[in-house]
């Protein structure tokens, strides 16, 4: 007597779950342009030296090009940290690169940490200048570098596995930015 | 995320080590991509619609009895009850515990030590995952129960001997879960062996002490991991009917049978609040403020974690108060009565938040367990296991996250409805559950927002 209603409860729940999964599966196939909002817009990275110390020659060239070329105002505050070269360097056919310079003063990070989009296969050249000796660590990219006070250090992050990864300094523990590889 | 703790192993590593020596180093810091905005809107809309449809369309008399469910075939029940299966699982758990303790005491304190992975991935997330599928397994496997049983046998004591009849309810578990969440998300150097030695030692001692004072009845309400396993395990499709027969049933049948006791609301609030804080802590505006503040960041993080849990509990109190007003019943104890309906919501958010970590780092844990002492050994033959990423593709994960959160929400609404028609007069039951419904929609939208923004 009691089992009958139970079955209908389960059936209703199962139906609801199945319907939802179908709906979501459909919606996530569509381009998620509304999802990020960050990172696509461009803005001035702080100064031209971005990319000067970069270890990879090709990305250094396109990165510094982008940093000087793209000085348009940013529409979105959250995007203020990224400088995209996708439109600035029409000469480079396939490889597109971004550059970003970050300055650490004590516990302050400039520009303020944000999430930067990095498409799979593209690179982000990150230049870090700190007022104290520290250790730079890009999680997920397996990059660790010692930073000497006042000397800019550049690392090249290449988007590989999709996910969000944080770039940190360790003394004190500071998150400089999150990189969203998609 | 556990990301941060696992990542904080990094300073211990010489930077000159070639990457080859560090398989998968740093992958603990991978987080999921933010949910697409369309998925968030869709999920929130689904939650809203389902909630209000449920309000009108669901049953008007209590229906989730302890006698319901589809009985399992005899052979399946026999397997579940068999001494071989249960004994085997216990032996395996105790062996894994001993293996991990050896690594904790004798192992090398570096990024390849398995202990932080076993604790933060297998024990915490894995136990919840297994419990969601199989039920409250930890009440059978709990190594501290076995330790207590062994010690009392040695002392020729009855394990049920208690020094007092007084019961603290779920409060010890609430405190224990908060302590663990703090360790996982806030404690400095939380992946290093010295910190883990203190934490694990304190956990064993506290639970032995609890069991000595209250006897074996300490474990179901006092042991944080057993309560963690029991509450999530209540949602398992496997359960026992009131005549102890194994049945297949819906998650709401199990969760409806969660024993309500003092401290249950606090426990559920810590479960939901802790996972919510974990998501919130990777929100750029939050961590920017915390790390550049002149106050110690640990203090602000502890405050954030505590505040999340308190807000979850306080909102339920307020909603229960409003419900009591509308349904004209006494407000006392009502929030606790509705606390079980937050368990599926917490479970949905847990799955959404930890799926990738469980799938990916769960495999890394197995690889690290093969070399427990840091000697370069490959005792299990799994040292070179490369985690498979098929199950963490972004589209799959986003779909799973929204489905998990909305499913948890639907189950929570159904449970709250059952409670309302049980506790309230029929004419005011619909009106009376309205505040709780609004609260659940808010929790669900909050969960979706956290997955979108951080």
Residue contact A17–B403, C-beta within 8 A: yes
Q: Is the peptide bond before B90 cis (omega within 30 degrees of 0)?
A: no
> Which residues in chain B have their CB less than 8 angstroms from residue A30's CB?
38
In the predicted structure, residue A87 carries a pLDDT above the cut 50: no
CB-based contact (8 Å) between A27 and chain B? Answer: yes
Cβ-proximal residues to B445 (8 Å cutoff; 6+ apart), any chain: B44, B47
Determine the residue of chain B that is closest to A116 in CA distance. B284
Q: Are B282 and A163 in contact (CB under 8 A)?
A: no
Apex B168 CA angle, B162 and B173, nearest 5: 105
**Interface-testing mutation among A6, A17, A112, with chain B (most B C-beta atoms within 10 A):** A6
pLDDT score of B189: 86
pLDDT digits (tens, 9 = 90+) for B396-441: 999 999 999 999 999 999 999 999 999 998 888 888 999 999 999 9
Q: What average pLDDT does the segment B265-287 reach?
A: 93
pLDDT digits (tens, 9 = 90+) for B74-109: 999 999 999 999 999 999 999 999 999 999 999 999
Determine the residue of chain B that is closest to A118 in CA distance. B33
In the predicted structure, residue A10 carries a pLDDT above the cut 80: no
pLDDT score of A17: 52
pLDDT digits (tens, 9 = 90+) for B193-249: 999 999 999 999 999 999 999 999 999 999 999 999 999 999 999 999 988 999 999
Is pTM beyond 0.80? Reply is yes
Q: What span, in angstroms and rounded, lies between the C-alpha atoms of A178 and A163?
A: 10
CB-based contact (8 Å) between A172 and chain B? Answer: yes
CB-nearest partner of B291 from A2, A21, A173:
A173
3-state secondary structure string across chain B? CCHHHHHCCHHHCCCCCCHHHCCCCCHHHCECCCCCHHHHHHHHHHHHHHHHHHHHHCCCCCCCCCCCCEECCHHHHHHHHCHHHHHHHHHHHHHHHHHHHHHHHHCCCCCCCCHHHHHHHHHHHHHHHHHHHHCCCHHHHCHHHHHHHHHHHHCCCCCCCCCCCCCCCCHHHHHHHHHHHHHHHCCCCCCCHHHHHHHHHHHHHHHHHHHHHHHHHHHHHHCHHHHHHHHHHCCCCEEECCCCCEEECCHHHHHHCCCCCCCHHHHHHHHHHHHHHHHHCCCHHHHHHHHHCCCCHHHHHHHHHHHHHHHHHHHHHHHHHHHHHHHCCCCCCHHHHHHHHHHHHHHHHHHHHHHHHHHHHHHHHHHHHCCCCCCCCCCCCCCCCCCCCHHHCHHHHHHHHHHHHHHHHHHHHHHHHHHHHHHCCHHHHHHHCHHHHHHHHHHHHHHHHHHHHC
pLDDT digits (tens, 9 = 90+) for B29-39: 788 998 988 89
Number of Cβ pairs < 8 A linking chain A and chain B? 163
pLDDT score of B28: 60
Q: How confident is the model at residue A157 (pLDDT cuts 50, 70, 90)?
A: very high
pLDDT score of A54: 35
Q: Are A130 and A104 in contact (CB under 8 A)?
A: yes
Determine the residue of chain B that is closest to A138 in CA distance. B26
CB-nearest partner of B399 from A28, A165, A172:
A28
CB-based contact (8 Å) between A29 and chain B? Answer: yes
pLDDT score of A95: 54
pLDDT digits (tens, 9 = 90+) for B344-371: 999 999 999 999 999 999 999 999 999 9
CB-based contact (8 Å) between A180 and chain B? Answer: yes
Torsion of CA B242, B82, B219, B309, to 10 degrees: -70
Cβ-proximal residues to B339 (8 Å cutoff; 6+ apart), any chain: B260, B264, B265, B267, B268, B316
Torsion of CA B202, B203, B208, B211, to 10 degrees: 130
Q: What average pLDDT does the segment A62-82 reach?
A: 35
Determine the residue of chain B that is closest to A22 in CA distance. B399
**Interface-testing mutation among B7, B52, B452, with chain A (most A C-beta atoms within 10 A):** B7
pLDDT score of A32: 38
Q: What average pLDDT does the segment A112-121 reach?
A: 93
Residue contact B32–A9, C-beta within 8 A: no
CB-nearest partner of A139 from B7, B43, B395:
B7
pLDDT digits (tens, 9 = 90+) for B294-337: 999 999 999 999 999 999 999 999 999 999 999 999 989 999 99
Q: In Å, how far is B387's CA from the nearest CA of chain A?
A: 12
Cα–Cα separations (whole angstroms), residue A149 to A134, A177, B150, B196: 8, 20, 58, 34
Residue contact B36–A28, C-beta within 8 A: yes
ipTM of the complex: 0.81
Q: How confident is the model at residue B161 (pLDDT cuts 50, 70, 90)?
A: confident
Q: What span, in angstroms and rounded, lies between the C-alpha atoms of A141 and B79?
A: 46
CB-nearest partner of B399 from A24, A107, A140:
A24
Residue contact A20–B46, C-beta within 8 A: yes
Residue contact B26–A140, C-beta within 8 A: yes
Q: How confident is the model at residue A43 (pLDDT cuts 50, 70, 90)?
A: very low
Residue contact B43–A162, C-beta within 8 A: no
CB-based contact (8 Å) between A26 and chain B? Answer: no
Q: How confident is the model at residue B111 (pLDDT cuts 50, 70, 90)?
A: confident
Q: What span, in angstroms and rounded, lies between the C-alpha atoms of A103 and B169?
A: 52
Determine the residue of chain B that is closest to A164 in CA distance. B31
Mean pLDDT computed over every residue of chain B: 90
pLDDT score of A16: 52
Residue contact B7–A166, C-beta within 8 A: yes
pLDDT score of B30: 84
């Amino acid at each position: 007597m009691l089992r009958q209603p139970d079955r209908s409860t389960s059936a209703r729940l199962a139906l609801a779950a199945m319907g939802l999964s179908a709906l979501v599966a459909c919606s996530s196939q569509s381009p998620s342009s509304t999802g990020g909002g960050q990172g696509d817009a461009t803005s001035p990275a702080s100064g031209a030296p971005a990319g000067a110390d970069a270890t990879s020659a090709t990305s250094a060239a396109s990165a510094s090009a982008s940093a000087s070329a793209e000085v348009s105002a940013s529409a979105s505050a959250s995007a203020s940290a990224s400088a995209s070269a996708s439109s600035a360097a029409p000469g480079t056919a396939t490889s597109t690169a971004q550059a970003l310079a970050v300055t650490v003063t004590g516990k302050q990070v400039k520009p303020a940490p944000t999430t930067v989009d990095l498409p799979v296969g593209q690179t982000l050249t990150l230049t870090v200048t700190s007022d104290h000796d520290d250790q730079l660590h890009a999680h997920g990219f397996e990059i660790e570098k010692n930073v000497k006070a006042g000397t800019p250090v550049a690392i090249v992050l290449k988007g590989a596995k999709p996910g969000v990864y944080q770039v940190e300094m360790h003394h004190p523990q500071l998150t400089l930015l999150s990189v969203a590889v998609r | 995320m556990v990301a941060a703790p696992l990542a904080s192993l990094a300073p211990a590593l010489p930077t000159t080590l070639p990457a080859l020596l560090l398989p998968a180093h740093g992958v603990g810091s991978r987080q999921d991509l933010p949910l697409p905005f369309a998925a968030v809107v869709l999920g929130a809309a689904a939650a809203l619609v389902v909630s209000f449809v449920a309000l009108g369309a669901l049953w008007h008399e209590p229906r989730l009895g302890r006698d319901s469910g589809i009985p399992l075939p005899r052979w399946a029940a026999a397997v579940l009850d068999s001494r071989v299966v249960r004994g085997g699982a216990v032996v395996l758990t105790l062996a894994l515990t001993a293996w991990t303790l050896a690594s904790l005491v004798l192992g090398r304190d570096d990024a390849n030590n398995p202990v932080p992975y076993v604790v933060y991935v297998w024990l915490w997330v894995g136990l919840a995952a297994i419990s969601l599928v199989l039920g409250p397994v930890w009440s059978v496997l709990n190594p501290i129960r076995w330790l207590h049983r062994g010690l009392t046998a040695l002392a020729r004591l009855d394990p049920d001997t208690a020094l007092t009849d007084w019961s603290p309810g779920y409060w010890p578990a609430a405190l224990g879960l908060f302590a663990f969440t703090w360790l996982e998300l806030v404690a400095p150097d939380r992946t290093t062996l010295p910190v883990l030695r203190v934490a694990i030692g304190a956990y064993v001692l506290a639970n032995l002490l609890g069991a000595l004072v209250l006897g074996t009845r300490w474990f179901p309400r006092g042991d944080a991991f057993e309560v963690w396993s029991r509450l999530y395990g209540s949602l398992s499709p496997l359960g026992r009917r009131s005549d102890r027969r194994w049945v297949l049933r819906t998650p709401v049948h199990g969760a409806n049978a969660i024993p309500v006791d003092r401290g249950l609301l606090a426990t559920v609030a810590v479960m939901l609040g802790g996972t919510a804080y974990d998501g919130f802590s990777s929100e750029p505006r939050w961590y920017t403020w915390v790390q550049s503040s002149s106050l110690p960041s640990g203090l602000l993080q502890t405050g954030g974690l505590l505040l999340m849990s308190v807000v979850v509990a306080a909102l339920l109190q307020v909603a229960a108060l409003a419900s009591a007003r509308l349904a004209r019943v006494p407000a006392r104890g009502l929030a606790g009565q509705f606390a079980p309906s937050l368990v599926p919501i917490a479970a949905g958010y847990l799955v959404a938040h930890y799926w990738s970590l469980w799938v990916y780092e769960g495999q890394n844990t197995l690889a690290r367990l093969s070399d427990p002492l840091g000697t370069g050994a490959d005792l299990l033959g799994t040292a070179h296991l490369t985690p498979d990423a098929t199950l963490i593709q972004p589209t799959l994960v986003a779909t799973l996250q929204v489905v998990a959160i909305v499913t948890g929400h639907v189950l929570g609404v159904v449970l709250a409805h059952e409670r309302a028609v049980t506790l309230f007069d029929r004419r005011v039951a619909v009106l009376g559950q309205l505040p709780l419904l609004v609260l659940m929609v808010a929790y669900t939208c909050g969960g979706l927002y956290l997955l979108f923004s951080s």
